[in-house]
């Protein structure tokens, strides 16, 4: 049988022959993940099912990132539960405080996920790790508790939609634009419980950080996973970030059967935004009616990496944030923060009038450090713009790349770099 990348990755973790989409297979997991919101629920279920020890303390990751630094007593107690569990179980990969960061940037950066892995996490954006050729998916906290105890889980083999990006990228077009264009085309349920397998000449030349951005938002199309082949760029990235063993190549078989193939030619396309209140409500930046904004957020597990910071700094250098706008910059890990410091990007942000915050999810989920008031509008590099996502139910969030977000911060309204 010629296998899709999803089928091939699952086959690597089950003793059952993967023969068809829809098949239920029992799989051994490479890593189990939870955070400060979902971890306590999983820990409660872990104890509730009578489990006493995790299957492997080296293969559990607990990352305190959503309300870090803890914003109130409730969030502090959430972290306390996870911290005590990590000590009790001897969990190696527990992250809190200084060494912590946004989980889906942190784990690839630390070399904890890589090609051929099967990762399950109590966070819907666990699918990010498909950017480094892992089968990674989000689950509920009860399923995560079982995976922590047993080291395995069952999965339904997803049908695969192959997405081919071809043509030439414009200077101001980034990976965020690619995934928003796809979601705009197929809809927020267009890949429901399917795998999105990305390919084509544009993807072949796309850096790993861009691939992580795209895989991160596969869930915004309803997908179970967003997958990229392991190529030379993947191998180089994983070696640089401490992966001990990386396969030379990992890709779908030629002749593999897909449920659907989507072709997107990028030639002549410019940057886009997803307008309220769905990631699929996508328009070209130039076609959005004049929209004044009060806030910009540049960061998150989608676009808080060093390439994103460089893009934002490129636009903000020598310019000032509009007097009516709060521009919040959140490097997603201490490593990204330190690189920004070395390259002088933090100085650029400060000179432009930005607010530089800690390595936290913070405003992305309406948690803290950037809550929107009634009627306020925000351009964010985050992944969701549902009604009330970042604060008031009367606020609006527009999703965009760091280039567009930074340009909007300067213009005081939705704008692209070419508009400045």
pLDDT on residue 243: 80
Q: DSSP secondary structure string, 173-189?
A: --HHHHHHHHHHHH-TT
pTM, rounded to two decimals? 0.96
**C-alpha–C-alpha distance, residues 126 and 41, integer Å:** 17
pLDDT on residue 244: 74
Please tell me whether residue 22 adopts helix, strand or coil conformation. coil
C-alpha distances (whole Å) from 302 to each of 19, 88, 126, 243, 371 are: 34, 32, 11, 22, 19
CATH 3.30.499.10 positions along the chain are 5-264, 276-419
pLDDT on residue 248: 77
- Say if CB 159 and CB 195 are below 8 A apart: yes
- Say if CB 234 and CB 208 are below 8 A apart: yes
**C-alpha–C-alpha distance, residues 145 and 419, integer Å:** 50
Residue environment code for 302-324, b if the CB has 16+ CB neighbours within 10 A, otherwise e: bbbbbbbbebbbebbeebebbee
**What are the helix and strand counts (H, E) for the chain?**
14, 18
Q: How many CB atoms lie under 10 A from the CB of residue 254?
A: 6
Q: What angle do CA 361, 362, 365 make, to 5 degrees?
A: 80
Strand order in the sheet with 355-356: 282-284, 272-274, 396-399, 377-380, 295-299, 326-330, 355-356
Cα atoms in the 13 Å half-sphere on the side-chain side of 303: 32
C-alpha distances (whole Å) from 352 to each of 235, 315, 410 are: 37, 10, 9
Name the residue among 114, 117, 104, 64 with its Cα closest to residue 86: 64
C-alpha distances (whole Å) from 289 to each of 285, 385, 414 are: 9, 18, 9
Name the residue among 184, 195, 185, 183 with its Cα closest to residue 257: 195
For domain 5-264, the CATH architecture is 2-Layer Sandwich (3.30)
- Say if CB 217 and CB 183 are below 8 A apart: yes
Q: What angle do CA 49, 121, 236 make, to 5 degrees?
A: 145
Name the residue among 261, 238, 244 with its Cα closest to residue 131: 238
For domain 276-419, the CATH architecture is 2-Layer Sandwich (3.30)
C-alpha distances (whole Å) from 7 to each of 3, 118, 224 are: 6, 12, 13
**C-alpha–C-alpha distance, residues 304 and 102, integer Å:** 9
- Say if CB 115 and CB 234 are below 8 A apart: yes
E-strand stretches of 64-193: 93-95, 118-121, 135-138, 152-156, 159-166
pLDDT on residue 242: 85
pLDDT on residue 372: 97
Instruction: Give the residue ranges of the chain where pLDDT is below 50.
Output: none
- Say if CB 66 and CB 103 are below 8 A apart: no
pLDDT on residue 190: 95
pLDDT on residue 160: 98
Q: Is 298 left (phi over 0), alpha (psi -120 to 50) or beta?
A: beta
């Amino acid at each position: 049988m010629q296998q899709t990348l999803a089928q091939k990755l699952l086959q690597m973790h089950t003793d059952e022959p993967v023969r068809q989409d829809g098949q239920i297979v029992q799989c051994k997991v490479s890593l189990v993940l939870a955070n400060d919101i979902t971890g306590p629920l999983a820990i409660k279920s872990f104890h509730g099912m009578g489990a006493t020890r995790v299957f492997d303390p080296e293969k559990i990751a607990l990352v305190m990132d959503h309300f870090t630094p803890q914003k109130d007593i409730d969030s502090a107690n959430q972290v306390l539960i996870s911290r005590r569990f990590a000590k009790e179980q001897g969990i190696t990969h527990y992250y809190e405080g200084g060494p912590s960061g946004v989980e889906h940037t942190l784990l690839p950066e630390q070399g904890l996920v890589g090609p051929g892995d099967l990762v399950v996490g109590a966070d819907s954006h666990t699918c990010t790790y498909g950017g480094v050729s892992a089968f990674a998916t989000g689950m509920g906290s009860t399923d995560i508790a079982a995976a922590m105890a047993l080291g395995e889980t069952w999965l339904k083999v997803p049908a695969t939609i192959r997405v081919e990006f071809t043509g030439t990228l414009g200077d101001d077009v980034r990976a965020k634009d690619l995934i928003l264009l796809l979601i705009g085309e197929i809809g927020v349920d267009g890949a429901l419980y399917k795998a999105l397998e990305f390919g084509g000449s544009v993807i072949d030349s796309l850096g790993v950080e861009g691939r992580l951005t795209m895989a991160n938002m596969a869930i915004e199309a309803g997908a179970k996973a967003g997958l990229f082949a392991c190529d030379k760029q993947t191998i180089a990235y994983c070696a640089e970030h401490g992966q001990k063993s990386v396969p030379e190549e990992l890709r779908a078989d030629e002749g593999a059967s897909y449920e659907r193939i989507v072709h997107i030619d990028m030639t002549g396309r410019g940057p886009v935004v997803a307008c309220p209140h769905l990631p699929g409500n996508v328009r070209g930046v130039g076609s959005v009616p004049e929209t004044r904004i009060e806030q910009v957020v540049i960061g998150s597990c989608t676009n808080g990496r060093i390439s994103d910071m460089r893009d934002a700094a490129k636009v903000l250098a020598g310019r000032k944030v509009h007097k009516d706008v709060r521009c919040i910059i959140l490097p997603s890990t201490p490593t990204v923060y330190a690189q920004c410091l070395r390259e002088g990007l933090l100085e650029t942000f400060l000179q432009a009038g930005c607010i530089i915050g800690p390595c936290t999810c913070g405003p992305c989920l309406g948690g803290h450090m950037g809550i929107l008031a009634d009627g306020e509008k925000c351009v964010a590099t985050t992944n969701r713009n549902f009604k009330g996502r970042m604060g008031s139910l009367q606020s609006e969030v527009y999703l965009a790349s760091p280039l567009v977000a930074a340009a909007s911060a300067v213009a005081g309204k939705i704008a692209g770099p070419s508009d400045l």
